[in-house]
Chains A and B, each alone.
Chain A
Amino acid sequence: MTARNHTRPAAHRRARRWGAVALAIAGLTSATALTTNHTVSAVPPTAKSEGLLCTPPTGATPGQANYVLTAKEGIINLPDGNSMLMWGYANGNGAFQYPGPVMCVNEGDVVTVTLRNQLAVRTSALFLGIDGVTANGAPAQAQFDQTATTATLRSLTDDVAPGGSITYKFTAGHPGTYLYESGTDPELQIEMGLVGSLIVYPTTPADTSDLLGESVGHARLAYDDPNSRYSTEHEYMVLLTELDPDVHYAVEEGGVLQSADYTEAYTPRYFLINGRSFPDTIAPNGAGWLPAQPYGALAHVEPLQISATPTESDNPLPALIRYLAVGGEPYPFHPHSNHEKVIAKDGRLLSDGGVDLSMEKFAITVDPGSTIDALFTWTNVEDYSATANPTPVPGPDQKNLTEGEYWSGSPYLGGQGVLNPEVQAKNVCGEYYHVAHNHNLAEATNYGAAFGGQLTLIRVDPANTTNCGNA
C-alpha cells in the first residue's frame, strides 16, 4: 500500500492465518471445521460462529445461575505474529480464555460465582454496577494491608490467595450489560486480562413481536422497555481492551507481579475487541487458530426492510451492540454506514421519568469501566442497481482505481465483479462490508500498522439471498 513497510515488531506474519481468515468469512463455516490443530478451544464445538456467545450457567434450578471461574495463565495470539502472556478467567475447568466467559443470566436470578485462583498472586472479581454483592456470605468490601500505623488498599473487593477460592453472590437486579474484572491491583491485573462481561436479560415476558406487531420469533427486549427491542439473531459484543507488551514481557520474565514493580511508562501497542485485533476480529467464534480468544466481533445483518403491508421478507428488527471498555482512556468507537442509537449506559436505560433520552450517534465514546448498549440498522436508502437505478455518475474503468480485498467489484448490493488481479478478493456474494473502528486511529493499528487493532467489519448481505451462507 505504501512504499514503506510497517514491519515492526514482528517479521513473522503468518500467511497460514490470513488464509484461514479468508476461508472463515467465505464459507461462514462453523468454528470447529477450521480447526487444524489439536489445541483445546475455550468454547465448545457447537458454538454459533457469529454474535454474542453466552456461557450458560450450570445447575438447573430456576432463578439460580451458578458459575465457576478459574483465574489462570495463558497465551494469546496477535495478528502480526506476536503472542502475549495473559492472565484470564477460564470457565470452570475449561481452557484459558481472554476475555472471560460471557455470563448470561436473567433479571432476578441469584448469581453465584466461585472464583478459583491458580495464579501466583492474589486476585478477585469485581462486578461493576451490581449492588449487594457478598463474598463468602458477607458483604463484599475493599481489602487493606494493615500495619500498626498504615493501611494500604490491596483490593477493591474481597480477594483470594493463590490456590484458594472465594464465592461471590448477588441478585441480578437490573437488565443490561456489565463488566466484571479483577479488583486486586487492577492497574496490572486488568491489563493482564482479568476481565469479562455479564449480560442480564429482562424478565419482561419474552417479547416476540417485531416493530410491526408481527410475531417473528427472534425479537427480544434488552431492557424492560419496548424501545429496546432487537433481534436475538443479531446481538453483538464489543469489549474494548488494550495491551502494553512490555508489561506482559516483564511478567513473563518473572520480574513483575504487581503494578508497583512495573515502573516504565505505560504505552499500549495493541488494541483489541473481544480479545482480538483486526483481522482476527472478523474470524468466527471459536476459530481454531485462536484457541484462547473465542469471541469474534463481525456484525452481520441484512438491510432493514419494513413494508407498508408486512411481508415474509420484512426485516424490521435492529441489531444490538453491547459495548464495554476497560483501560485508561475513553475509546471513541465509530461505526461506519449509519448512526447507532445509544439506548443505555452502564446497565441503565437512557430515560428520565419516562422521557426517552436515547441518542443517535456516529461516534460512541466508551469510557473505561463503562458499558453502552446501542441499536443498529442499515437501510438500502438509494437502492442503486445496475439496471433499474444505476449510480448517477458512471465509475471509471477499474484499472483506474485501487480496489480493496473486501470489495465486491460492484457498487450494487448483491452485484459482483472481477477485481484487479493483484487483489486477494474476500467478497462472497456481493455483500457490503463497512468498517467499525476506534477513531483514535493510532488505536486502529497493530503496533502502529494501519487497518488493525480495534477495528471490525459490519457485513450487510443482500436481502433474501440463499448464496450468502447462513445470514
Chain B
Amino acid sequence: MSREHDTGADTPRVLSRRNFLIFGGGAIAAVAAGGGAMAATAAPGARGKMPPGLVDRPNVRQLALSVTDGWAGMPRELPVIDPYFPDTLAPAPLDTYIFGFRDVTGLDRPIVQSQAGKAQISAPVIEATVGEEVWITLSNLGLLTRPDLVDSHTLHWHGFRNAIPYYDGVPETSISVPIGRDFTYVFRPEDAGTYMYHCHFEDVEHVTMGMTGIVFVRPAANSAWAYDDPDTEFDVEMPIMLTEFDLAGHWNDAHIQTSDWTSYKPDVWLMNGRAYPDTLAPSGVRDDITGDLVPQVGFEHLQYQPQTSKIRATGGQRVLLRIANLGFQEQTLAMPGIDLVSVGSDARWLTPDQRTVSDTLVIGAGESRDVIFVAPQWRPDGNNTYPLFNTDPTKYRGNLDGSDQWVGGQRTELEVEA
C-alpha cells in the first residue's frame, strides 16, 4: 500500500488514492482525473476558467456553484408511495423532485445556464486547506419546474468560526442571491475539520429538498492528516453526508402544494444523496463539454446523485470517515467489529482524553464527526465486506417483496481489497 502525502496547497492537486475514494472507484477516478469531474476540488490555479468576473490569484481557491432544481432517482427496489412516489412529473428514469447545488467551476456562462433544472444531491464536496482563501461564486439559475417560485438562495458554511453575516448566508441577517444573479462568498479557513454547507433561504424547505453538502478543511501541515496531529493520519477518506427525504414534501414542491414541515416524516434515509443499495454504486462524472453529469452505465437513475459511499481500502490502511448530518434527525451508525476512533467532532480535534473507541457513533442534526478505523486484513475466503449502517430498523423502507429490509436506508460497506 502506498501513502500519498500531497505537497501543499499551491501545487495543482493530482487525484491521489484518497481523492479517488471521495468520488468513486478507480474507474471513475481515472475519468475524473482526465475529465475534471468535481472540479470543486480544484486546487488554486489548477483550472483554466475562473468564475465569471473574477481574476486568477495565487493561494485563492476559486469555485463556482450554481443552484437550481432538478430530479433524482431513488432505489429501483423502493415500493410505490401513492401518490408521492414515483413522481409522475419526473422524467424517466428519475422520480423525486429536488433543489440542489452543482459544481460549474470552469464552465462558460452559456454552459452554466444550460444546467438549470439539473441540480444534484448531495452537493459537490468542497475541499480547502488552512491558509488558503476560498472564493465561492454562487449563481442562481432559478427553478425550471416551479417558475412561479422566485426564491433566492444562499450558501451557509455551517460551523465556520467567527463568521461575518455578509458571508454567512442567512437571508434575514444579510443578503441572498436572486434568480439570474451571482454573489461571491469569501472564506479564510483557519481550522481543519469536517464542516457542511447548505442554503439558508426558506431553510427548512431548501435544506430538505437537497441543498446540502460537505466542506472539509485540511491542516496546512500535512494533507494526509485530518487535524494538525500526526495520529490523525489516514490513507483513504470518505465523506458521508446524512440526510432524509419526506417524499410527500418533495412531491408537494413539484405539484405546487404547500407542506406543513412540522408534519415532517421521512420515507428514505440517504448517504451522499443516495439510499441503499444505490449507496454502493460507483460515482458519476461531469462532462466538461456539455456541463451535464454523466451516470455510470446501469445506474442511469443516479445521474444527479454522483457520489458513492462505497469504501475501498487494503488491509491495514487507515480510513477516515468524515460524517456530517444535515437531516433533521439524530442518527446512530454502526460498523460491527470495527473500532471507530473519534478524532474530531464539529471540526474540532479531540484530545486523547476526549476520544471514544466504539463500533457505533451517534450524530445529531447539524453535527459532524471524524472517525478513523484500520481496515481488516484481506481474507482469501472472500469475506471482505463490512457494513456501515444506521442501527434503527425503522429507518429503512425495505423493498417490494420484503426480501431486503435495508432498501431505502443509510447503509454502505467497506470492501477490503487484496
**A residues apposed to B, CB below 8 Å:** 1-4, 6, 8, 267-269, 329-330, 332, 334, 336-339, 352, 355, 357, 359-363, 365, 378-382, 384, 391-393, 395-396, 400-407, 411, 413, 432-435, 439-445, 447-448, 450-451, 457
The answer, yes or no, to whether B258 is at the interface (CB within 8 Å) is yes
B364 near A365 (CB under 8 angstroms)?
yes
A363 pairs with B162, CB closer than 8 A: no
13 sampled A-B residue pairs with Cβ under 8 A: A4-B149, A267-B262, A352-B353, A361-B348, A362-B366, A378-B162, A391-B166, A401-B175, A439-B365, A442-B261, A448-B260, A450-B203, A457-B173
Q: Measured between alpha carbons, how far is A445 from B264 in the docked complex, in Å?
A: 12
A406 CB contacts on chain B under 8 angstroms: 172-173
A361 to chain B, nearest CB (A): 5
Q: Which of A267, A363, A404, A451 has the most CB of B within 10 A?
A: A363
B408 to chain A, nearest CB (A): 20
Inter-chain pairs besides A337-B168, A395-B166, A434-B170, 18 sampled, C-beta below 8 Å: A2-B202, A3-B148, A3-B149, A3-B150, A4-B149, A4-B258, A337-B162, A339-B348, A363-B364, A381-B190, A396-B182, A402-B176, A402-B178, A407-B173, A413-B164, A432-B173, A433-B173, A447-B260
B contact residues around A357 at 8 Å (CB): 353-354
* Alpha-carbon gap, A288 to B25, bound state (A): 62
Query: Are B188 and A451 in touch, CB under 8 angstroms?
Result: no
> Quick one: given A339-B346, A407-B173, are A1 and B163 in contact (CB under 8 Å)?
no
Q: Does B11 contact A (CB under 8 A)?
A: no
Query: Is the Cβ of A2 less than 8 Å from the Cβ of B151?
Result: yes
Q: Which residues of A contact B202 (CB under 8 A)?
A: 1-2, 450
- Nearest to A1 among chain B residues (CB) is B202
Given A402-B178, A445-B261, answer yes or no on A332-B367 (Cβ-Cβ < 8 Å). Answer: yes
Q: Which of A8, A396, A434, A450 contacts B168 (CB 8 A)?
A: A434
B348 touches A359 (CB 8 A): yes
The minimal Cβ–Cβ distance linking A228 to chain B, given in whole angstroms, is 18
| Chain A CB within 10 Å, residue with most, of B156, B162, B345 | B162
Q: How far is the CA of A150 from the CA of B178 in the complex (A)?
A: 66
A434 and B178 within 8 A (CB): no
Question: Could you tell me which residues of chain B, from 135 to 190, have a CB within 8 Å of some CB in chain A?
Answer: 135, 148-152, 156, 158-159, 161-168, 170-178, 181-184, 186, 188, 190
Q: Are A434 and B173 in contact (CB under 8 A)?
A: yes
Contacts of A362 in B (CB 8 A): 158-159, 195, 346-347, 366-368
- Measured between C-beta atoms, what is the minimum distance from A353 to chain B in Å? 10
> Which residues from chain A contact B365 at a C-beta distance below 8 Å?
332, 363, 365, 439-440
Number of A-B contacts (CB under 8 A): 196
- Whether A395 contacts B328 by the Cβ 8 Å rule is no
Q: Which of A352, A355, A384, A445 counts the most B-chain CB atoms under 10 A from its CB?
A: A445
Chain B 282-325 per-residue mask, 1 if CB under 8 angstroms from chain A, else 0: 00000000000000000000000000000000000000000000
Q: Is the CB of A402 within 8 A of B177?
A: yes
Segment at the A interface, from B72-80, B204-212, B273-281, B398-406: B204-212
Among B149, B165, B348: residue with most chain A CB under 10 A: B165
How far is it, in angstroms, between the C-alpha of A382 and the C-alpha of B190 when the chains are bound?
Answer: 11
Residue numbers in B under 8 Å from A380 (CB-CB): 162
B259 touches A (CB below 8 Å): yes
Query: Does the CB pair B163–A361 fall under 8 Å?
Result: no
Q: A334 and B173: CB pair below 8 A?
A: no
Within 8 Å of chain A (Cβ to Cβ): is B329?
yes
A403 touches B175 (CB 8 A): yes
Interface residue from B135, B183, B261 paired with A395 (Cβ < 8 Å):
B183
Report which B residues bind A (CB closer than 8 A): 54, 60, 133, 135, 148-152, 156, 158-159, 161-168, 170-178, 181-184, 186, 188, 190, 195, 201-205, 207-208, 256, 258-264, 328-330, 345-348, 350, 353-354, 364-368
| CB <8 Å contact, B204 and A360 | no
A334 lies within 8 A of B345 (CB): no
> How far does the alpha carbon of A450 sit from the alpha carbon of B176 in the complex, in Å?
16
Q: Tell me the bound Cα distance from A18 to B174 in angstroms.
A: 19
Chain B nearest CB from A375 CB (Å) reads 14
Chain B residue contacts of A442, Cβ below 8 A: 204, 261-262, 264, 328
Residue of A nearest to B367 (CB): A363
B384 → chain A, closest Cβ, in Å? 35
Known A-B contacts A404-B174, A435-B173, A450-B204; A359 and B345 likewise in contact (beta carbons under 8 Å): yes
Residue of B whose beta carbon sits closest to that of A431: B165
How many angstroms between the C-alpha atoms of A403 and B176 in the bound complex? Answer: 7
Question: Shortest CB–CB separation between residue B186 and chain A, in angstroms?
Answer: 5
Q: How far is the CA of A381 from the CA of B60 in the complex (A)?
A: 18
In this complex, the member of B151, B167, B177, B202 whose beta carbon has the largest number of chain A beta carbons within 10 angstroms is: B202
Residues A360 and B174 in contact in the complex (CB < 8 Å), given A434-B168, A441-B204, A447-B260: no
Chain A residue contacts of B256, Cβ below 8 A = 4
In the assembled complex, which residues on chain A have CB atoms less than 8 Å from the CB atom of B204? 441-442, 444-445, 448, 450
In the bound complex, how far is the Cα of B345 from the Cα of A433, in angstroms?
Answer: 26
**Cβ-defined contact, B181 with A396, below 8 A:** yes
Cβ–Cβ < 8 Å partners of B264 in chain A? 442
Distance in Å from the Cβ of B281 to the closest Cβ of chain A? 29
Identify which of A362, A391, A400, A432 gathers the most chain B CB atoms within 10 Å of its CB: A362
Q: A401-B183, A402-B176 are in contact. Are A269 and B262 (CB under 8 A)?
A: yes
Q: How far is the CA of A339 from the CA of B190 in the complex (A)?
A: 13
Contacts of A447 in B (CB 8 A): 260, 262
> What's the Cα separation between A402 and B205 when bound, in Å?
18
- The chain B residue sitting closest to A8, CB to CB, is B260
A332 to B345, CA, bound (A): 14
Q: Which of B149, B163, B345, B353 contacts A338 (CB 8 A)?
A: B163
> Which residue on A lies nearest to B258, using beta carbons?
A4
Contact B354 A359 (CB under 8 A): yes
Question: Which of A361, A382, A401, A439 has the largest number of chain B CB atoms within 10 A?
Answer: A439
Q: How far is the CB of B184 from chain A (nearest CB, A)?
A: 4
Q: How far is the CA of A36 from the CA of B345 in the complex (A)?
A: 48
Q: Which residues of B contact A378 (CB under 8 A)?
A: 162
Query: In the complex, which residues of chain A have a beta carbon less than 8 angstroms from the beta carbon of B178?
Result: 400-402
A339 to chain B: closest residue by CB: B161
Residue of B161, B172, B260 contacting most chain A CB atoms (<10 Å): B172
* B163 with A448: CB separation less than 8 A: no
The distance in angstroms between the C-alpha atoms of A406 and B186, with both chains bound, is: 21
Q: How far is the CB of B105 from chain A (nearest CB, A)?
A: 16
CA distance A432 to B354 in the complex (A): 34
Q: How far is the CB of B258 from chain A (nearest CB, A)?
A: 5
Chain B: CB-nearest residue to A342: B346
Name the 8 nearest CB pairs between A and B, nearest first.
A439-B366, A363-B366, A365-B364, A411-B166, A362-B159, A441-B204, A332-B365, A448-B260
A6, A329, A404: the one contacting B172 at CB < 8 Å is A404
> B354 to chain A: which residues have CB within 8 Å?
357, 359
Closest B residue to A459 by CB, please name it. Answer: B173
Nearest-Cβ distance from residue A349 to partner chain B, whole angstroms: 14
Alpha-carbon gap, A84 to B172, bound state (A):
28
Q: Which residues of A contact B176 (CB under 8 A)?
A: 401-402, 404
- Find A400's partner among B181, B195, B262 (CB 8 Å cutoff): B181
Is the Cβ of B262 less than 8 Å from the Cβ of A448?
A: yes
- Residues on A with beta carbons closer than 8 Å to the beta carbon of B201: 1
B142 nearest CB across to chain A (Å): 12
Report whether B149 and A444 are in contact in the complex, using a CB–CB cutoff of 8 Å: no
Query: Which of A365, A378, A441 is the most central at the interface, judged by chain B CB atoms within 10 Å of its CB?
Result: A441
Give bound CA distance, A400 to B188, whole Å. 25
Residue of B177, B188, B345 touching A401 (CB-CB under 8 A): B177
Name the residue of chain B whose CB is nearest to the CB of A381.
B162
A365, B329: Cα distance in complex, Å: 11
User: In the complex, how many angstroms separate the beta carbon of A234 from the nearest chain B beta carbon?
Assistant: 17
What CA separation (Å) do A119 and B196 show in the bound complex?
Answer: 48
Provide the bound-state CA to CA distance between A378 and B347, in Å: 17
CA distance A213 to B357 in the complex (A): 39
